[in-house]
Structure 1
């Protein structure tokens, strides 16, 4: 036993001697958490396939300025993520990936890289607060948190935006904590301004909000903003304009100013003024969802809250609070809410959590801590039960392949709780990291494979591919998810009535129409009136997680 403990200690010591080794371990941990299910998870409606489809249309049309979903202008976010996704798919095509343009995993690669960059940049940012061990634990909390594991698998902006935000806040932390030194290292300046420019090109003003609110709060505290001069603002702003201005000018000319009217007037101000459809939530939503999104570190972060208040005047704690609190208040005040909006703030939460743990503030001696940390096993146990119930209800079988991994995750989470209760908080963290890795394998690697009832668009697209004719025309009635457009083609017709579906088939040639059961009576009646008899190829039954209802879709075909 003693020899084994010595060897583990020696191994840990050897790894900690090098930033490169610690970063290699972080990358391995991240890949274990991010890769399971990366290629097999279906396009997740509705945002992911909208981004992917718009990127695909850039490749189809050769227009890399305008952003469109079918014929609709998608003037909500800047172009950065679309360029990254298009480049990723173009590389996939060049390497011979079959059907690259409808392979969702290729569009997800920028998100995967963004998530990896988030973890590594969190390590870099945390070095302004800790030594190597503390920075490693901070970054590992990000690598294993649920919301980053989700965003790493979705072809959207949020993982890459978070990486840019951490780059900016890491540079800002060095400027604040070393104020008086007069000069920042060139590497810190380069990381700061590159993150800032790319952040603007990916999601507009959000990165400016994170940095601006933190800088304003700290400048008020210091009664001076002179410390910001170490960031070389004029040179940095010139660099930012050189990166972002060409596209903003191009889209302004091409859209006649419509991009700015839509992105600022409708999208951004729409979120502030009124809750966009389906996404309203009351203030406090992020505090409640935090216990799921930042698992397994969430409950330890909650225990650390009094530490942050007690030490709020310390420079390092003050910076972390300035990073979190002002932007969090904005997000809680805005009516439109989604769980991933606060993701760029979580690295600062991880910093405060590790800081409190390193000073022995977090432990079973805190009020109600022993009971509260039961939340550590609650998430994997809850997902095990919930996914089993969903699979049984919709597909008639539990997720057998996932259950061993979910069971191990639950046992490791219970072990993490047991270690915490016995004051072994750092070891509890390590057990939590392992629990998160097994949870990722169980949920994303295997459970989603067995939930075929949720893969409606995948199954409909497969029906269209198996029609015994080349390049059939495809239309849909009643089921209008963006994932179906992405998987079947940009020219998918979205129909509104049974008469339109019947008329679509009557145009001749090889055609397939998907008809939701709600419209099927009208569709059949119109076919009888016209005297046409389309072939019922198959029926697809499932559950649409976006509408929250079961669906029964018939596939009718003609022309073969």
Structure 2
């Protein structure tokens, strides 16, 4: 009798969990609500407090800010430099977000980077929900939910949701397009696609072109070409109503492309196609070269916590490659992945639009009991499940101690919780309890987001050089100072201090800048201070040392000491 009580409690607990799961799965709306909650827990911590992350994020944000300052929503500029690399879509979205923030009374809206990040947050949420919609072409509700949850909790989407760039929104557009393409391929016998699928497909395609040019065409075009070759026919593509869709796309994108061609005299296309896109193919731009295989290695970090499960699922994809759902997922992944590996310029987020297909194949393999500890080498490989949270807990503690002389105490309890949950997920995997292991991983990822972005980054003040320098400029005892910087040239400083920030090249120029009179502040990196002081002595000039800031510049990989000198008060 006594021994039956624990069994009854266990049965009751299992019944309650099963009942709760069954209740949620009765409705797409309920499942999507859970996905949104999970996504917000993963995406929102640190969304406001994280500093502008050099170099790409503040370049996008500053260009959008300048659109609001000038009222020119055709040309894209960073200070006086034309930014003819990407189309205008994301800049319009960011400008609209900031304009709404201003209208609602957000203080200092134009230098509040969180407002510029809202399109990325919406893009990341849309990526998760569209991954659910796309996966419904392959699974029932549970499989689609697990696919979308793998996207919501993967590291690279958590990062991109917080950065005012193109990549989260591009991922959303890509999933919309590929979800529509999947329906066209997998239901090609039906002959007609629902209007909703057509609208999602062509809206994603048009916005994708307006956000990042031809990449969306590459994802869809390569997949369609591979599948048409497999079928020995491309007639299935007619269900997408291509002529009507192309007309819709041109109506959306052509006005701006014509306007920028006229305004720039064709310079936009020369820069975006000739320099940016072909430059990535021919040479590794911006020192982002990496050898082929880079994305396969980085995948185990970018797609955590699902990466090791996806790796175990690779033989499944090969064995079942002739099945239509698997064939479509492989056509989505493989051709574009090969292109990214061949191109010399490599950044971890480039493969983000391909990851929903990886999640689909992974869930397929799990649902057929292919993934588990019984697979060859799965047990030793599964040590990667807790590797990311444990590694980040140790790594961030080491960085905090090295740079700021303190541990990230606020973050440690949550990071330890994330590590313990990941270890539990590992144990569940070894017990071949795959779905509970996934859930433990999802909760671990949510805790990791809170620990890293919500708390740890707050304590790493050495990495917030631009924030601290901008604070110095705001606190000088005179109004509207003119600001210059010598040696430290990060775009985040332009965004935070103002479009008029003067980037100067020598101590002589820095001294001359202060001589022009009025309220002025100049930031001088230590290696230039000797020349700066010598020139001041020649002029008989004695600027006030307002502050001395020490920190670490991630982009240059150097510790910096920057002095702030001011005049005019």
Q: TM-score category by the smaller chain?
A: over 0.9
Greater shift, 370-379 or 199-208, is seen at 370-379
Aligned mates of 1:291, 1:7 — CA distance in 2: 35
* Residue 173 (structure 1) aligned to one of 175, 182, 185: 182
Q: TM-score, normalised by structure 1?
A: 1.00
Q: Which residues of 2 match residues 221-236 of structure 1 at below 5 A?
A: 221-236=230-245
Distance 1:184 1:247 in 2: 30
Offset at residue 110 of structure 1 (A) = 0.1
| 1:67-110 deviation line (CA, Å, top 9, x unaligned) | 00000000000000000000000000000000000000000000
Please name the residue that 1:450 is paired with: 459
Residues 141-174 of structure 1 show CA distances to partners (whole Å, capped at 9, x for unaligned) of 0000000000000000000000000000000000
Partner residue, 1:253: 262
Secondary structure in 2 aligned to 1:277?
helix
Q: For residues 379 and 140 of structure 1, what CA distance do their matches in structure 2 show?
A: 18
Task: Note the alpha carbon deviations across 1:165-205, whole angstroms, 9 max, x for none.
Answer: 00000000000000121100000000000000000000000
Specify every segment of 5 or more residues in structure 1 that has no aligned partner in the other structure, as ranges. Answer: none
What are the superposed Cα offsets for residues 419-477 of structure 1, whole Å, 9 maximum, x if unpaired?
Answer: 00001011100000000000000000000000000000000000000001110000000
Cα distance in structure 2, aligned partners of 1:70 and 1:518: 26
Deviations 1:354-379 (A, max 9, x none): 00000000001001111111101011
Cα deviation code 1:314-367 (max 9, x no counterpart): 000000000000000000000000000000000000000000000000001001
Q: 1:3 aligns to what SS in structure 2?
A: helix
User: Please, which of 73, 78, 96 is the counterpart of residue 69 of structure 1?
Assistant: 78
Give yes or no for the alignment of 1:461 onto 2:470. Answer: yes
Q: 1:185 aligns with which of 187, 194, 199?
A: 194
**Cα distance in 2, alignment partners of residues 129 and 52 from structure 1:** 38
Q: CA deviation at 1:3?
A: 1.3
* Cα deviation digits, residues 111-145 of structure 1 (max 9, x gap): 00000000000000000000000000000000000
The question of 1:238 aligning with 2:239 is answered: no
* Equivalent position of 2:35 in the other structure: 26
Residue 265 of structure 1 is aligned with which of 268, 274, 290? Answer: 274
Structure 2 equivalent of residue 549 of structure 1: 558
Divergent runs of 4+, >3 A: none
Q: How many residues align?
A: 560
Q: Please give the alpha-carbon distance, in whole angstroms, between the structure 1 residues aligned to 2:262 and 2:547.
A: 48
State the distance in 1 between where 2:167 and 2:405 align: 35
Calculate the aligned-residue CA RMSD, in Å: 0.3
Alignment partners' CA distance in 2, 1:301 and 1:207: 24
Q: Which residue of 1 aligns with 2:138?
A: 129
CA distance in 1, matches of 2:28, 2:278: 43
SS of the residue 2:178 aligns to = helix
Question: Is 1:501–2:510 an aligned residue pair?
Answer: yes
Q: 1:66 and 1:456 mapped to 2: Cα distance?
A: 30
How far the C-alpha of 1:5 sits from its partner, in A, is: 1.6
- Once the 2 structures are TM-superposed, how far is the Cα of residue 20 of structure 1 from its aligned partner? 0.1
Residue equivalent to 1:537: 546
Question: 1:4 aligns to what?
Answer: 13
- Secondary structure of 2:485 counterpart: strand
| Other-structure match for 2:371 | 362
1:281-323 CA deviation, whole Å, 9 max, x = no partner? Answer: 0000000000000000000000000000000000000000000
The answer as to 2:216 corresponding to 1:196 is no
Deviates more, 1:352-361 or 1:2-11: 2-11
Q: CA deviation at 1:216?
A: 0.1
Tell me whether 274-283 or 234-243 shows the greater mean CA deviation.
274-283
Q: How far apart are the structure 2 equivalents of 1:228 and 1:373?
A: 40
CA distance in 2, matches of 1:370, 1:32: 30
CA offsets per residue over residues 527-547 of structure 1, 9 Å max, x none?
000100000011000000000
1:277 to partner: Cα distance? 2.5
SS at match of 1:512: strand
- 1:193, 1:43 → 2: CA distance? 33
Aligned to 2:331: 322
Instruction: After TM superposition, give the deviation of residue 271 of structure 1 in Å.
Output: 0.1
| 1:76 match: secondary structure | coil
1:300 aligned residue? 309
1:35-114 correspondence to structure 2 within 5 Å: 35-114=44-123
Q: Is the partner of 2:564 in helix, strand or coil?
A: strand
Cα drift, residue 278 of structure 1: 1.6
Of 269, 276, 291, 2:300 maps to: 291
